[in-house]
Structure 1
Amino acid sequence: MGGGLKKVEEVLIRDQLDVIYSESKALLRNERHQDLALLFKLVNRVPNATNELKKIVENHIYEMGINTIERVSGTAINDPKLYIETILDIHKKYLILVQNVFNNAQDFIIALDKVKKRLTQTAGSTTKSPELLARYCDILLRKGNKGVEETDLEEKFNQIMIVFNYVEDKDVYQKFYSRMLAKRLVGQLSASDDYEESMISKLKQAGGYEYTSKLQRMFQDIGVSKTLVPEYEKYRENHRATGIADFSILVLSSNSWPFSAPPNFILPIELKLTFDSFTDFYIHRHNGRKLTCLHQHSKGELQTFFTRQKYILQVSTYQMVVLLLFNKALNWTVERMQDETQIKSELLLQVLFGLLKSKLLVCTDINEDELDEDLKDTNIKLNYSIRLATNFKSKKLRINLNVPLKSVE
């Protein structure tokens, strides 16, 4: 008797499946989860009847997810945090739906995973999702991140890995992550080595040893470099080297870091003595190796002696090379500067543009109004004459002039 009733029940439900499927769409739209759970139990009594329901749920989640992402897409392109948190909100909302309404059924979990993968692939492009995810990591791992408490960071890393698992092109993510990690390490911008290592460890668990091997070698290079400067100091004392500036250095493996060698130019003697001395020390220790200086990632400090008040200038290597020219002569044409330094013209013009805007240098061929408003680096001509601004003044004693340049990575 019981078997007969079950058969009758199955037939009755099967006859009403079209109505039930139609009703399920309305229940999903209106988020009537209790009614939807009852409907699922009903459909689950009929063999294979949940397949169509699963498709309905999958399409609903995808449609709602895309609509949610599109609502924030204009802002999210420039706000990685908003983009990733939107993806995570979608994940959390529909994971709860699958768990509570569909009893964590395996078919529905698989359907949810498919949707999340589609969302990360179609939300913008296959490269935009990994780039925004890497940029979000960069925000969390940099110094000065005031938006997240330290105790919440590990949870944020776990959430990042949820999105990472649905990124289709993980190599694109690794490329962006590697570049940003390199800038954090070289610029000493990381909030904590422990956080960096924790994030890499999670990526290693998800992507394997080879996926993170270059990232780990980058960390090793930083550690080894910390031992080099004190060893070089001993070498310098033993060889009685003179005229060497105080400096710190990072020696990076060329095949592990996403950096390329900059165009050649002529180092002033003040810098060349130091670089040559360290090169001799390093080659003596590692015969057969070659050092290439990444000037585009180097920086330093100069002290002014031409002003009444002495200032410390925080500058890029290129800015330093230009400013040190004024130890040789008080006036330089742009053309003579280029001949003396061999810095590429488009790069030299950018450097001069920044120094003129800072009012540290003066060009009599450019009027004050043009300098404040319309000046572009391309407006600076080779025959223009440049000199130090002997009346330079600043409220700050330490002045940061080091700004990013367009043609330098």
Structure 2
Amino acid sequence: MPALDMAEEGRQRKGNFSALAGHTNGLTKAAAASSSLGAKPGTSSSSSSKKLVIKNFKERPKLPDNYTQDTWLKLQEAVNAIESSTSIKYNLEELYQAVENLCSSKVSPTLYKQLRQVCEDHIKAQIHQFREDSLDSFLFLKKINRCWQDHCRQMIMIRSIFLFLDRTYVLQNSMLPSIWDMGLELFRSHVISDRMVDSKTIAGILLLIERERSGEAVDRSLLRSLLSMLSDLQVYKDSFEQKFLEETNHLYAAEGQRLMQEREVPEYLHHVNKRLEEEGDRVITYLDHSTQKPLIVCIEKQLLGEHLTAILQKGFDNLLDENRVLDIMLLYQLFSRVKGGQQLLLQHWAEYIKNFGTAIVINPEKDKDMVQELLDFKDKVDHIIEVCFQKNEKCINLMKESFETFINKRPNKPAELIAKHVDSKLRAGNKEATDEELERILDKIMIIFRFIHGKDVFEAFYKKDLAKRLLLGKSASVDAEKSMLSKLKHECGAAFTSKLEGMFKDMELSKDIMVHFKQYVQNQSDPGCLELTVNILTMGYWPTYTPMDVHLTPEMVKLQEIFKSFYLGKHSGRKLQWQSTLGHAVLKAEFKEGKKEIQVSLFQTLVLLMFNEGDEFSFEEIKNATGIETNELRRTLQSLACGKARVLIKHPKSKEVEDGDKFLFHSDFKHKLFRIKINQIQMKETIEEQVSTTERVFQDRQYQIDAAIVRIMKMRKTLNHNLLVSELFNQLKFPVKPGDLKKRIESLIDRDYMERDKDNPNQYHYVA
């Protein structure tokens, strides 16, 4: 039976005898009270006319002369029988009463000394059995444990007999240990404090623990009993714990160094976690709970703290690359246990995000898929933060800073590509997602959008793409368009979206205008056979389009004049400028297969209408007849003769259109659809158009910088260079270099908006 269990049994027995003693004393006191009061039968003790009569007690009967000596011999015999594990001749109640009688006779000090001496002699006699050199470690531990169990059992029996002594004399003398504590003190001083017993006991316990750590099965109940013994004897910390922690430290220091060389990071992390669980189980099973904290700290230091940087450098990036969520979660949990571990982990995490994101952003070859890769990477990062890092706020902030850092390493391009990605999702041809999925995609895009600095670049490209979607009727959903507009307004403010909102207003007004125009045309004497739809675009809201004069057919020119008369008749003082690059038409064509409808651009329309007058034309003839600019005409003819739907035949056959090429009407053209849409190549964005859009953004930025400088100087009147630049950085909403600001300041000085101080060149004055 373990020592703690034996001690508990002792306390239970102690309680039983205590109750018995209390019962006996209670009867004695009751009888004494009855005799001392001397109340007569039938009278009330509470009557005020009666008096209490106190009678003298009779003298205590004297004990026989040899009673003390004989009684002690009887008690000594009983103690010896308990210690030798033989039967006791006397009744336990008789022995208990004998102790009470001796204590009542005021021989308690002598009785306590005699009992201590008997116990001490017996314990001293036990030490010889542990001096046998032939005992191996395990047998030695079993023997010392058996001795301890016997001692506990004996002291419980002895204490139950001498309980009255323990509860009276010992309790009243604070300097004396209780009988149970006396037994512990004697066992500690004569057995455990013996140098040989102590060293062999501790060495044996440590050996068993070492074997268990190496994977062997050991007697855990024996370990639990022995360590409880050391704890009860109050030598656990001095004799065992210090040596145990030293050995643990050496073991795990060597193990950490070895396994970091031999194992991959995930395997090593699982081993560390396993070790922590094993040591936690040891604390629960047989170690004292006070050992838990220093033991776990030791493991964390040797297996983790000494290898934090090595673990991160060796395998953290691989875990993230392979998206090994469970391993990353374990890594975070383990690093969070070590001081400074979590901070170091998050620093590596931020560096990984920057490096991975930079590789996506700065590589021009990845431009086509850049935004989708960024969205996928952001999803992956968010999942790791939520599942592995437990939504750590510091981790979230580092992620945001890292995204903002790498996405702006390549100025303007990410903003442009995000705008194009939105365009691809909002276009009518996009069948990838439902309305709900599209809404979620737009929300994710907005998260990436928040990180870019050049939001004006995004606005320029978004506006150009939105114009195409609206003018060509290619928008997937008006609701989705307005939802995106609402998101941009919420993110950047009303000023950012005012022009975009104006574009939608123009489209709605144009619909109303066309209703009235159709009524107006019907009232004309010769309405004609063509239908004309015009979108009235407010110049300030829409992108800037380069006007291109082309040779329209007489029917088209006539309709334009009719609309011009109609519109200017209602809105005097306005000017109409026709944008032929934005026009498109639906033509009816007859082939050998049958009739088809062809949806084409205005330039494609002008080319195809020529073949009503003849079957074959050269490149130069088409150019002269249509007036289309050379490069635009090449792209137009390419779309008609070299694309999927080849309604024209080119001679000689090639993918490029060259001067001197001839084009024939393809009467044998076949297609499974009745209405055929031929790609409007002239609407595809060229490199020149991209550069042009970017240059317009830079020009707008210069105007904004100039306006900001003048606004600040007008308010401050006088300001030095550094303060002016600092104020500009605060006010401008796009990234700008100090060198660019200096150029704009010089430009304003040249234009007499401001001047330098004559005595201090770094000081500026506003010129009213």
Give the unaligned 5+ runs of structure 2: 1-293, 320-326, 690-768
Distance verdict in 2 for CA 1:170–1:58, change over 3 Å: farther
Matches within 5 A, 1:271-286: 271-286=556-571
Mapped partners of 2:512, 2:306: distance in 1 = 68
1:145 equivalent to 2:435? Answer no
Matches within 5 A, 1:164-313: 164-243=449-528, 245-304=530-589, 309-313=594-598
1:392 to 668, 671, 676: 668
What per-residue deviation string (whole Å, max 9, x for no partner) do you get for residues 62-92 of structure 1?
2255237748968742225631323313440
1:317 to 602, 606, 613: 602
User: Which amino acid is 1:62 matched to?
Assistant: E
Q: Aligned with 2:681: secondary structure?
A: coil
Cα drift, residue 256 of structure 1? 1.4
Q: Determine which structure has the larger helix proportion and give its number.
A: 2
TM-score, L = length of structure 2: 0.44
C-alpha contact (below 8 Å) 1:303/1:311 kept by paired residues: yes
Matches within 5 A, 1:100-179: 100=390, 104-105=392-393, 107-122=394-409, 125-179=410-464
Mapped partners of 1:166, 1:23: distance in 2 = 31
Distance verdict in 2 for CA 1:346–1:20, change over 3 Å: same
Cα drift, residue 239 of structure 1? 3.8
Cα drift, residue 37 of structure 1? 4.3
What per-residue deviation string (whole Å, max 9, x for no partner) do you get for residues 127-186 of structure 1?
332233223322322224333233223222222222111112212222222222222212
- Choose 137-146 or 270-279, whichever is displaced more: 137-146
What per-residue deviation string (whole Å, max 9, x for no partner) do you get for residues 196-216 of structure 1?
111111111111111111111
2:386 to 75, 79, 96: 96
Q: CA RMSD in A?
A: 3.6
Mapped partners of 1:108, 1:342: distance in 2 = 61
Aligned to 2:352: 63
Matches within 5 A, 1:341-380: 341-357=626-642, 360-361=647-648, 366=651, 370-371=652-653, 374-378=654-658, 380=659
- RCO comparison, higher one (Cα < 8 Å, 6+): 1
C-alpha contact (below 8 Å) 1:21/1:53 kept by paired residues: no
Distance verdict in 2 for CA 1:153–1:347, change over 3 Å: closer
C-alpha contact (below 8 Å) 1:241/1:277 kept by paired residues: no
Give the unaligned 5+ runs of structure 1: 1-8, 44-49
Distance verdict in 2 for CA 1:402–1:207, change over 3 Å: same
Percent of residue pairs identical: 26
C-alpha contact (below 8 Å) 1:265/1:343 kept by paired residues: yes
Mapped partners of 2:389, 2:309: distance in 1 = 17
C-alpha contact (below 8 Å) 1:98/1:109 kept by paired residues: no
2:368 to 57, 68, 78: 78
C-alpha contact (below 8 Å) 1:94/1:112 kept by paired residues: no
C-alpha contact (below 8 Å) 2:638/2:656 kept by paired residues: yes
Aligned to 1:4: none
C-alpha contact (below 8 Å) 2:426/2:480 kept by paired residues: yes
C-alpha contact (below 8 Å) 1:65/1:90 kept by paired residues: no
Mapped partners of 1:37, 1:219: distance in 2 = 52
Mapped partners of 2:679, 2:329: distance in 1 = 57
User: Which amino acid is 2:514 matched to?
Assistant: V
- Choose 323-332 or 137-146, whichever is displaced more: 323-332
Mapped partners of 1:310, 1:394: distance in 2 = 10
- Choose 327-336 or 250-259, whichever is displaced more: 327-336
Q: Aligned with 2:600: secondary structure?
A: strand
C-alpha contact (below 8 Å) 2:375/2:445 kept by paired residues: no
C-alpha contact (below 8 Å) 1:91/1:116 kept by paired residues: no
C-alpha contact (below 8 Å) 1:95/1:112 kept by paired residues: no
Q: How many pairs were matched up?
A: 373
Distance verdict in 2 for CA 1:91–1:285, change over 3 Å: farther
Mapped partners of 2:358, 2:351: distance in 1 = 10
- Choose 310-319 or 335-344, whichever is displaced more: 335-344
TM-score, L = length of structure 1: 0.77
